Chains A and B, each alone.
Chain A
């Protein structure tokens, strides 16, 4: 068999969330990725985020492309419908799915090969269309599944495992997402669960195109000296701009941080993001400043992480198309078919 089922045993004392689910309810089959793969840490963060948000797993549609990262939807939210599409084309499938039923939560999982090369166009267009989704790129700068070729996010001058130097410029998906108008843009590190989990939670709560680039070192092919996507490099060059927590708020919100240092962002679903500035010059509401900040730090070899930009009251594709609240996949013949009398009138107009 090529499918590894996870034992269904639940320890009776596992903590439960508001809707009575344990973390195990958000898990799925056993990962077939390499031991220590950063992608598995991201899966764990997704599981944690969904558990903490008390999301019903079956209300999530998890959609991916092809590659190591795109395999991961098999390893979380086993009670969700998953969709492993074709290479680089996850965004179009997700867009279509979202059009059909606006009520589900759409989780797009992709890799740097998937999104920055073959699927660069689809990535860009799904973002500019403001599809309501959480788009996560598990970014390791390398083609893992085909054994170590550079991807388009590999930095110029970085070294492959075999010692080859990358002579091409890299694509910074965060910078691109900002430029394209994404209304939630973040970067994180697979090894920083404390930062990543609230980011995923906030992205899920966000209405509109939410993009998270997660640097996720490839244990097998890109975790060596000279790589700018290795565990050590990312740890040493991580520049976090803020720390955040998210409260799925129905109760009054209390802010614990010192005045002037905290920004509370209420999202469309009522949840509140508390953003604590780590960097005094950083403003997550200023798209242009975010782009500038990002580029300046990139030039210094720093990897800026955190919530880089957010527009809390953003619109999404459905708002722009002004579609009905009822999901399109629930409309029946009576709602959709104009009927024989309308056709008779059309016939009459064509004579």
Chain B
């Protein structure tokens, strides 16, 4: 019996990198959103430019589950290289659509799936002569066929074509024609619609579809960043490029048209962070965007900024490591390398957004935190957030807000001040007062150095002076706990002995997993951590439960280690749930892993440890 579902299925396009399929696939996804149906698109792509396999997946989900589900209900298999594996990956009773211009040997097809062969190449070649057109329109014909098979609102597709080619109007008609070709072929040759259908609804609301890196870039614009120094690296490059795009739009002097920003593509990641530190020392809001290998290179400077107390914002869009790892696959594997970046005793502020909207919000506020705390701040995204479009809350900004530049003394302040010492803890919060170079002719200058220094920034190798400074840096991080985004807790319907801690891109899969687990009879309280150093609520949450599952996307349970290390928790009480194959974590994975462990507890005497 073929699969039947309305607004609840996974469709996957298997393509060849560089074949021009991306824009057609994205248009298809956007049309679903325009029908009011929540959906979650995801790119799975190789680290090359042309020729290797790439996939684009859309999870259609009226229930609004935006995490990856796993499995494919409808496979659009356009890549001969992966055809066999793609066919195997289809869920039982699922669907396969392929280019039937060339016959597929019967042995390569499964008996339990519905096979839809559309001679895309043949239709295309009959209609178009230009080779590039033939390639591009094949993708559009494919979308046209799907629109009939899935009972799609065709007007939405036509409208999107019009928007996409606005200003290049002569391209509109041929594209719409290609859509019709596919649609008509499907209608004439298959019973349309099939069991999987799209039905207009109103579940999208006012949400927007945006890439995490673009949202973070906007956050940097809104947060007042004026200097961006970066070095290209997947999956973070589109963040710096997005900043350039939005600055180009918003950041010019209205009269002179000159730039109110500076972007430098540095020679490497070391220079990037050096420029950020130099700019921030001199009073500009500055950031860099990078990924794990870049963080490795920046370590020395990051320790310097921590010790010399210079604001810096680093967006780390995590990918699978170690080393070059899997550059185009997602992970949450830089948590520890960022939290403790550099040699000696260092500790850094981390912000952990769950999606594009929080990437915008945390991206903007990171500059306030960095200025206020006078220390590097990391915004930790990952490829799943950064390079995928995600349906999320609209971005919002409060126009009454002004930037918090922290404790900066002006020339007037210095005139009034009796005394100035750069690293004096006048307010007891661990944060000294700073001055920008050039502020005052006779007062407020100091020497910035990575060597040990006293409260007046003078070089000192005195042990007690050093210890005082190091203790003050800890006080500063205590201050940070009070101002950073708090963890969010949501309790199960009934009291439970079990909790789950997670962060970042795990969020959508986690909320769906909690629903699945509740149906299996397992109640769990949830806590999403949004910043490091950890808020006191994290310790309280763990204290409230016998065991807490820590769900994260790396091999070595880095979040769990950080919690154990920072909060002194007995490791036995933190049960690792680890997903690290580079794909987006799924609700299926989380619910199966946690559910199976909790099931064992029902039939065996309660053991001290779950792991």
Interface residues of A, Cβ cutoff 8 Å to B: 1-3, 56-59, 61, 63, 73-74, 78-86, 89, 91-101, 103-104, 121-122, 124-125, 129, 318, 321-325, 328-333, 335-340, 342-343, 346-347, 350-351
Q: A81-B448, A89-B274, A324-B258 are in contact. Are A337 and B222 (CB under 8 A)?
A: yes
Residue B460 is within 8 A (CB to CB) of chain A in the complex:
yes
B341-377: contact bitstring with A at CB < 8 Å (1 yes, 0 no)? 0000000000000000000000000000000000000
Task: Give the B interface residue count (CB, 8 A).
Answer: 78
A58 to B222, CA, bound (A): 32
The smallest beta-carbon distance between A27 and chain B, in angstroms, is 14
Q: Which of B55-63, B399-407, B552-560, B600-608 sits within the interface?
A: B399-407
The smallest beta-carbon distance between A325 and chain B, in angstroms, is 7
Check A343–B274 contact: CB distance below 8 A: no
Check B283–A329 contact: CB distance below 8 A: yes
Check A328–B402 contact: CB distance below 8 A: no
In the complex, residue of chain A having the shortest beta-carbon distance to the beta carbon of B270: A89
Residue B129 is within 8 A (CB to CB) of chain A in the complex:
no
A100 touches which of B206, B227, B250, B447 (Cβ 8 Å): B227
Check A340–B259 contact: CB distance below 8 A: no
Residue B301 is within 8 A (CB to CB) of chain A in the complex:
yes
Q: A84-B449, A103-B438 are in contact. Are A343 and B396 (CB under 8 A)?
A: yes
The smallest beta-carbon distance between B42 and chain A, in angstroms, is 17
A206 to B210, CA, bound (A): 46
The smallest beta-carbon distance between B302 and chain A, in angstroms, is 10
Check A1–B397 contact: CB distance below 8 A: no
Check A322–B278 contact: CB distance below 8 A: no
Check A81–B275 contact: CB distance below 8 A: no
Q: A340-B397, A351-B209 are in contact. Are A89 and B271 (CB under 8 A)?
A: yes
Check B301–A89 contact: CB distance below 8 A: yes
Report 21 cross-chain contacts, Cβ distance below 8 Å, ordered by A residue: A1-B458, A2-B459, A2-B461, A58-B445, A61-B437, A79-B441, A79-B442, A86-B301, A93-B274, A95-B229, A97-B282, A99-B286, A100-B284, A321-B263, A323-B259, A323-B260, A325-B258, A328-B262, A337-B397, A338-B250, A351-B209
In the complex, residue of chain B having the shortest beta-carbon distance to the beta carbon of A318: B262
Residues of A contacting B226 with CB < 8 Å? 100, 328-329, 331, 336
B243-270: contact bitstring with A at CB < 8 Å (1 yes, 0 no)? 0000000110100101111111011101
Check A343–B262 contact: CB distance below 8 A: no
Q: A92-B278, A333-B224 are in contact. Are A86 and B300 (CB under 8 A)?
A: yes
Q: A86-B300, A325-B258 are in contact. Are A56 and B279 (CB under 8 A)?
A: no
Residues of A contacting B34 with CB < 8 Å? 351
Check A92–B274 contact: CB distance below 8 A: yes
Apart from A86-B450, A100-B284, A336-B224: 18 A-B pairs, beta carbons within 8 A = A74-B459, A79-B442, A82-B449, A85-B450, A86-B300, A86-B301, A92-B271, A93-B277, A93-B278, A96-B274, A104-B437, A121-B267, A125-B267, A321-B263, A324-B256, A324-B259, A328-B284, A347-B206
Q: A89-B271, A351-B209 are in contact. Are A2 and B278 (CB under 8 A)?
A: no
Check B264–A95 contact: CB distance below 8 A: yes
Residue B462 is within 8 A (CB to CB) of chain A in the complex:
yes
The smallest beta-carbon distance between A322 and chain B, in angstroms, is 5
B448 touches which of A82, A321, A324, A328 (Cβ 8 Å): A82
Check B251–A336 contact: CB distance below 8 A: yes
Q: A125-B271, A323-B258, A324-B256 are in contact. Are A97 and B281 (CB under 8 A)?
A: yes
The smallest beta-carbon distance between A60 and chain B, in angstroms, is 8
A332 to B396, CA, bound (A): 20
Check A80–B437 contact: CB distance below 8 A: yes
The smallest beta-carbon distance between A169 and chain B, in angstroms, is 23
Check A328–B275 contact: CB distance below 8 A: no
Check B222–A328 contact: CB distance below 8 A: no
Residue B185 is within 8 A (CB to CB) of chain A in the complex:
no
Interface pairs A-B: 6 shortest CB-CB: A96-B278, A92-B274, A100-B284, A329-B283, A96-B275, A81-B437
A98 to B33, CA, bound (A): 46
In the complex, residue of chain A having the shortest beta-carbon distance to the beta carbon of B34: A351
The smallest beta-carbon distance between A116 and chain B, in angstroms, is 16
Q: A99-B262, A100-B284, A129-B264 are in contact. Are A58 and B438 (CB under 8 A)?
A: yes
Could you tell me the dominant secondary structure of chain B's interface residues? loop
Check A83–B448 contact: CB distance below 8 A: yes
The smallest beta-carbon distance between A2 and chain B, in angstroms, is 5
Check B450–A2 contact: CB distance below 8 A: no
A324 to B224, CA, bound (A): 15
Check A58–B441 contact: CB distance below 8 A: yes
B445 touches which of A2, A80, A318 (Cβ 8 Å): A80
The smallest beta-carbon distance between B1 and chain A, in angstroms, is 37
The smallest beta-carbon distance between B233 and chain A, in angstroms, is 17
B547-588: contact bitstring with A at CB < 8 Å (1 yes, 0 no)? 000000000000000000000000000000000000000000
B395 touches which of A103, A331, A346 (Cβ 8 Å): A346
Check B275–A61 contact: CB distance below 8 A: no
A199 to B315, CA, bound (A): 42
Check A122–B271 contact: CB distance below 8 A: yes
Residues of A contacting B282 with CB < 8 Å? 61, 96-97, 100-101, 104, 329
Check B403–A333 contact: CB distance below 8 A: yes
Residues of A contacting B227 with CB < 8 Å? 96, 99-100, 328
Residue B398 is within 8 A (CB to CB) of chain A in the complex:
yes
Residues of B contacting A61 with CB < 8 Å? 282, 437-438
A124 to B204, CA, bound (A): 52
A81 to B436, CA, bound (A): 8
Residues of A contacting B301 with CB < 8 Å? 86, 89
Residue B136 is within 8 A (CB to CB) of chain A in the complex:
no
Check A342–B250 contact: CB distance below 8 A: yes
Residue B208 is within 8 A (CB to CB) of chain A in the complex:
yes
Residue B280 is within 8 A (CB to CB) of chain A in the complex:
yes
A99 to B285, CA, bound (A): 11
Residues of A contacting B451 with CB < 8 Å? 84
Residue B433 is within 8 A (CB to CB) of chain A in the complex:
no
The smallest beta-carbon distance between B310 and chain A, in angstroms, is 9
Residue B446 is within 8 A (CB to CB) of chain A in the complex:
yes
The smallest beta-carbon distance between A112 and chain B, in angstroms, is 20
In the complex, residue of chain B having the shortest beta-carbon distance to the beta carbon of A1: B460
A3 touches which of B221, B278, B402, B458 (Cβ 8 Å): B458
Q: A121, A122, A129: which has the most chain B beta carbons within 10 Å?
A: A122
Residue B532 is within 8 A (CB to CB) of chain A in the complex:
no
Residues of A contacting B435 with CB < 8 Å? 81
B192-222: contact bitstring with A at CB < 8 Å (1 yes, 0 no)? 0000000000001011111000000010011
B304 touches which of A86, A331, A335 (Cβ 8 Å): A86
Residues of B contacting A79 with CB < 8 Å? 441-442, 445
The smallest beta-carbon distance between B360 and chain A, in angstroms, is 9
Check B448–A336 contact: CB distance below 8 A: no
Check B284–A58 contact: CB distance below 8 A: no
Check A122–B274 contact: CB distance below 8 A: yes
Residues of B contacting A121 with CB < 8 Å? 267-268, 271
Residues of A contacting B442 with CB < 8 Å? 58, 79
Check A81–B221 contact: CB distance below 8 A: no
A59 to B440, CA, bound (A): 9
Residues of A contacting B446 with CB < 8 Å? 81-82
A101 to B446, CA, bound (A): 17
Check A81–B438 contact: CB distance below 8 A: yes
Residue B276 is within 8 A (CB to CB) of chain A in the complex:
yes
Residues of B contacting A84 with CB < 8 Å? 447-451
A82 to B277, CA, bound (A): 14
Check B395–A336 contact: CB distance below 8 A: no
A342 to B226, CA, bound (A): 18
Residues of B contacting A338 with CB < 8 Å? 221-222, 250
A2 to B278, CA, bound (A): 26
A256 to B390, CA, bound (A): 73
A101 to B360, CA, bound (A): 27
The smallest beta-carbon distance between B364 and chain A, in angstroms, is 9
Check B279–A99 contact: CB distance below 8 A: yes
In the complex, residue of chain B having the shortest beta-carbon distance to the beta carbon of A61: B437
Check A83–B281 contact: CB distance below 8 A: yes
A319 to B253, CA, bound (A): 15
